[in-house]
Structure 1
Amino acid sequence: MKILDKYILFRYLKSVFFTLFIFIPIAVVIDVSEKVDKFLQHDDLTFIHILKDYYLNFIMYYANTFLPLATFIACIMFTSKLASNTEVIAISSANISFTRFLRPYFIGATILAIIALGMNHFVVPKGNEIKYAFEQEYIFNKRTENRSFVKDFSLQLNDSAKIFIKNFSLLNRKGYNFSYAEFDGIKIKHRVVAENITWDKENGNFILSKYKERFIQDEKDSITSGDKKTMILDFTPDDLIISGSKSMEMTSDRLSEFIDKSERRGVKNLNAYYVELYQRTSLPVSAYILTLIAVSLSSRKKRGGTGINLAIGIGLMFMYVFFMKVAVVLGSAPNSNALLMAWLPNIIFSTIAVYLYIREKKQG
């Protein structure tokens, strides 16, 4: 690697992390001002506990979220400064092509993409799980927890068994109008119905109240009933939560296993999980696209200097964030193509990046 490459790469990475370290304290200060009253309500809550379980994971989450924005803004500001100091002109006068000039930028983008991939797939989900548990314990009102109940829920436990629950409360772990059916081909061979079903977390099983059980046999059916019955089923109340927010608390290997398991159980719409899984790769790849756009926009000295480049760049960045949010909503809808929606912002902005690159290359 030549001296020029090392110089650009060092300044590129330094600018990105400096910009990131500006954003994070602002986010922390705003969050502290909103939640300090909640913290003070708990006498057993120590500063170390808040810092370790909440703000450490808070910082990791928002650092990863702000990384594309920090990369884009830092790249524009750094390259604009090179252009305003006529360093880009000197580089061009040394017969260094615009494509060659991009090499250290793309090396930096690769480093950032690798970091973001590791954070997205493994580090941030684990942190989100710890942060969410802390929020449930000390910040959120458990009585208004948004994951309160599910209605009319059916689940395929395996190839031959299926359950149905009319209503299940996730707060007290109790359901109503439960039925279990086990099949032999297309014929039912075992059926259980109960007025109530309660999850026994300590023993890992379910307790049925006011149940009726029927074994269907060739010669004679066996029917029993009672007030209470313990039953082991291959699911937990957490499996009833089909919510995109839950996916943020799973590492990618767990998320893939959850998706496969849910598909085998006959869960219909898992697009919110697919979008989350696909975006964990598509967002780090955006480092290349945003870097190419930023360098192509700001590598020439313009009237208005860094300000005009920064204004254009921020406008494009907000467009990217807008398309990303729209893609998440559309991708989570039933019958949509989650893979296409997750990559749609990158597809759109890659065409913009290629256009700006070709234009800048011709001008050079």
Structure 2
Amino acid sequence: MRILDKYILKKFLSSFALVLILLLPIAIAIDVSEKVDKFLRHSDLSVGEIINDYYVNFIIIFGNTFMPLALFIAVIFFTSKIAGNTEIIAIHSAKISFTRFLKPYFIGATLVTLLALIMNHFFVPNSNKIFNEFSKKYLKKKNYSQDVLTNINLQLGPNDYIYLKSYNSKSNNGHKFSLEKFEGTKLKYKLMAENIRWIEKDTVFRLNTYKKRYILNNRDSIESGIKLDTLLSFSPKDLVNVDGLAKEMTSFKLIEFINQAEDRGISNLNTYLVELYKRTSLPISTYILTFIAVCLAAKKRRGGMGVNLAIGISLMFIYVFFLKIAEVLGAGAETNSLVMVWLPNMFFGALAIYLYIKNAKN
């Protein structure tokens, strides 16, 4: 590695770290000002719990979220500075092409991308889980309606279906339960219960006021009772189709969950797929944003660094805006979630290629 590469890479990483370190305390200060009254309402809540369970995970979650923004600002900042000092002109005078000039940026972007990928797929989900549990316990108002799911239909296998009129995910109680087993198009068995409850310590469901119906060739056999503890091939988490659940699972567990859900016939898994694809698309955007930032800042402009920062931050907000729209559209039942999640990267990737070609010619 040349002295020039080491110089630029050192500037790249130190500027990135500096911007990230500056952004996080601002975010923490804003959050503390909003949450301090809620913390004080709980006399049993210690400062250590607030720091360990809330703000440590806050830093992990939001630090990971801020990475592309911090990198973009950092690259524009130090590249504009060396361009303003005519260092880039000296580099080109030494017969170093713009493509060769990008090498240390590529190395730096690779290091940040790898860090973001590891964080997204393995560490952030666990932080989300602890952070959300703390928020539910101490910061959010209790809302009964959010815990109650209604009219649940679920396919457990090729021929097995369940239905629940309602299910309370907090108390793990359900009402008007039925399980149907088919052979082809013919119903062969049906289990019904007025109430169903998940017994976690025994990992079984308890059915109250139940009825079993066996459909035979010439007659039906009916069995009924007051209470029945039985194993069923699903668990309470399979009934909950929410974005929060996806964010709390590591990628391996999320893929396993999606595969199981597909086998059980859940109709719309795009919320989970968006979360899975986003964990890769966001880190990869680091490359795109880095090259856009270099191309914008590599030329000395009238107005200096301020103009480059204004253009760069504007582009960054447009990217974030497109990303949020893509996430919402990608979660829809009729859309291709993979295409929607990667669409902002495709659009800004095309912009990066255009800016690169323009700079390489000069």
After TM superposition, is the score higher than 0.5? yes
SS at match of 2:289: helix
Q: Is the 8 A contact 1:75 1:294 kept in 2?
A: yes
Match of 2:29, as an amino acid?
Answer: V
CA deviations over 1:155-177 (Å, ceiling 9, x no partner) = 11223321111111223222221
| Alignment of structure 1 residues 54-203 onto 2, 5 Å | 54-141=54-141, 143-144=142-143, 147-203=146-202
CA–CA distance in 1 between the matches of 2:166 and 2:143? 18
Match of 1:246, as an amino acid?
Answer: L
CA deviations over 1:253-283 (Å, ceiling 9, x no partner) = 0000010010001000111111111111111
| Alignment of structure 1 residues 223-262 onto 2, 5 Å | 223-262=222-261
Unaligned runs of 5+ residues in structure 2 are none
CA–CA distance in 2 between the matches of 1:224 and 1:285? 58
Unaligned runs of 5+ residues in structure 1 are none
How far apart are residue 146 of structure 1 and its match? 6.8
Q: Is the 8 A contact 2:211 2:224 kept in 1?
A: yes
CA–CA distance in 2 between the matches of 1:108 and 1:232? 52
Coordinate RMSD, CA, aligned: 1.4
Match of 1:152, as an amino acid?
Answer: N
- Which residue of the partner structure matches residue 221 of structure 1? 220
Q: Is the 8 A contact 1:147 1:241 kept in 2?
A: no
Q: Is the 8 A contact 2:191 2:211 kept in 1?
A: yes
CA–CA distance in 1 between the matches of 2:282 and 2:49? 31
SS at match of 2:202: coil
Tell me, yes or no, if structure 1 residue 275 matches structure 2 residue 274: yes
CA–CA distance in 2 between the matches of 1:331 and 1:145? 29
Size of the alignment, in residue pairs?
Answer: 362
Q: Is the 8 A contact 1:188 1:216 kept in 2?
A: yes
CA–CA distance in 1 between the matches of 2:73 and 2:136? 35
SS at match of 1:269: coil
- Which residue of the partner structure matches residue 20 of structure 1? 20
Match of 1:137, as an amino acid?
Answer: K
Q: Is the 8 A contact 2:157 2:265 kept in 1?
A: no
Q: Is the 8 A contact 2:125 2:248 kept in 1?
A: yes
CA deviations over 1:182-239 (Å, ceiling 9, x no partner) = 2233322221111222222232222222221112233543211122222221222221
- Which residue of the partner structure matches residue 296 of structure 1? 295
Match of 1:247, as an amino acid?
Answer: A
CA–CA distance in 2 between the matches of 1:169 and 1:269? 21
How far apart are residue 150 of structure 1 and its match? 1.5
Which segments of structure 1 move beyond 4 Å, counting only runs of 4 or more? none
CA–CA distance in 2 between the matches of 1:178 and 1:44? 40
- Share of identical aligned residues, percent? 52
How far apart are residue 38 of structure 1 and its match? 2.0
How far apart are residue 145 of structure 1 and its match? 6.1
- Which residue of the partner structure matches residue 37 of structure 2? 37
How far apart are residue 181 of structure 1 and its match? 1.1
How far apart are residue 15 of structure 1 and its match? 0.5
SS at match of 1:214: strand
- Which residue of the partner structure matches residue 353 of structure 1? 352
Tell me, yes or no, if structure 1 residue 333 matches structure 2 residue 304: no
How far apart are residue 79 of structure 1 and its match? 0.2
CA–CA distance in 2 between the matches of 1:145 and 1:312? 46
SS at match of 2:166: strand
Q: Quick check: 207-216 or 181-190, which moved more?
A: 181-190
CA–CA distance in 2 between the matches of 1:336 and 1:150? 24
CA–CA distance in 2 between the matches of 1:38 and 1:81? 44
- Which residue of the partner structure matches residue 9 of structure 2? 9
CA–CA distance in 1 between the matches of 2:23 and 2:184? 59
How far apart are residue 154 of structure 1 and its match? 1.1
CA–CA distance in 2 between the matches of 1:255 and 1:146? 26
Q: Quick check: 283-292 or 149-158, which moved more?
A: 149-158
How far apart are residue 12 of structure 1 and its match? 0.4
CA–CA distance in 1 between the matches of 2:53 and 2:243? 22
Match of 2:27, as an amino acid?
Answer: A
Q: Quick check: 258-267 or 149-158, which moved more?
A: 149-158
- Which residue of the partner structure matches residue 310 of structure 1? 309
SS at match of 1:208: strand
In the superposition, the TM-score normalised over structure 1's length comes to 0.96
Cα distance change of structure 1 residues 315 and 146 upon mapping to structure 2, 3 Å threshold: farther
How far apart are residue 50 of structure 1 and its match? 1.6
How far apart are residue 89 of structure 1 and its match? 0.8
SS at match of 2:302: coil
CA–CA distance in 2 between the matches of 1:145 and 1:77? 49
